Amino acid sequence: MSLAPRSEADLQQRQRSGDLRVLAAADFRVLVATGGLEAAYAATDVVVAANAEFTDQATLQLSLGPVDPPLRIREARLDGVLAQGAGGTAGLCLPIGGGLGEPLRQGGAQVLDALLAGRELELTLTGEATASHPRREYRGRLSLERLGGARLLLHRAIAENGVVAVSSAEGVVRSPYGPLLGPYGNALYSSSGSSSIGLTMPSLA
């Protein structure tokens, strides 16, 4: 079976004219089961994972690097925004938004915007004192240039569409997805299988 692909220009034209045919993935599967893939494809332009409501299911993850003496993060605030310790002793995790119930609450989105704008943000860390991590408190300033690393993690997108892992480092890097050959020598793809939105809509642009 050969299904002719739709071009981006065709889909945009349908959208402008108000004729774009959009189905949720569950509805598209029902259409395939009742009429076959060819008929379902002919009657559908775009398949979406669910609805088009706002979601802030994402986190901003920042790697701070070590402090001397070591500190195990118990509580953290960055520009007044409460953050969670992540990745052991040197990572912060900030929800990207305040949630649908508190849309005006400051979150990782505001912190990311401030960092990208070149601002220095006040960082306050409270430590959980242990024999290996004796420091109890740290106060300083944090800017984009001082970050050891940063990731914007879109949990819902990963669950629905999968991940492509690559490495920019020289040589082989062991990863949860398998060995990565750098720089950019290979790419390993991981998806959620039959529930992946990308696999649900074959040949759709």
- For the residues of 95-128, what is the DSSP string, one character each? ESS--TT-TTS--HHHHHHHHHTT--EEEEEEE-
Looking at the domain assignment, is residue 205 inside a domain? no
Same-domain check for residues 66 and 143:
yes
* CB-based contacts of 71, cutoff 8 Å, min separation 6: 89, 125, 127, 133, 135, 136, 137, 138
pLDDT tens per residue, range 97-129: 755 555 567 888 889 999 999 999 999 988 888
The pTM of this model reads 0.53
Q: Find how far residue 106's CA is from the centre of its chain.
A: 19
Asked if 1 and 37 count as a contact pair (C-beta separation under 8 A), the reply is: yes
Looking at the domain assignment, is residue 182 inside a domain? yes
| Torsion sign, CA atoms 178, 162, 83, 118 | positive
Looking at the domain assignment, is residue 3 inside a domain? no
pLDDT tens per residue, range 12-31: 888 889 888 988 888 888 99
Same-domain check for residues 100 and 115:
yes
Same-domain check for residues 147 and 180:
no
Cα distance between residue 76 and residue 92, in whole Å: 8
pLDDT at 201: 53
pLDDT tens per residue, range 153-177: 876 665 556 677 888 888 898 877 7
- Token pair 């949630």 is found at 99
Domain containing residue 128? 58-154
The two three-digit tokens of residue 38, written as one number: 């060819």
DSSP secondary structure of 6-34: PPHHHHHHHHHHT---EEEHHHHHHHHHH
What percent of the chain shows pLDDT beyond 90? 15
Same-domain check for residues 70 and 90:
yes
Burial of 204 (0-12, 13-18, 19+ CB in 10 A): middle
Cα distance between residue 138 and residue 89, in whole Å: 13
Looking at the domain assignment, is residue 2 inside a domain? no
Q: Which residues of 153-169 are buried (b: 16+ CB within 10 A; e: fewer)?
A: eeeeeebbbbeeebbee
Residue 71's nearest CA partner among 130, 16, 133, 116 is 133
Looking at the domain assignment, is residue 170 inside a domain? yes
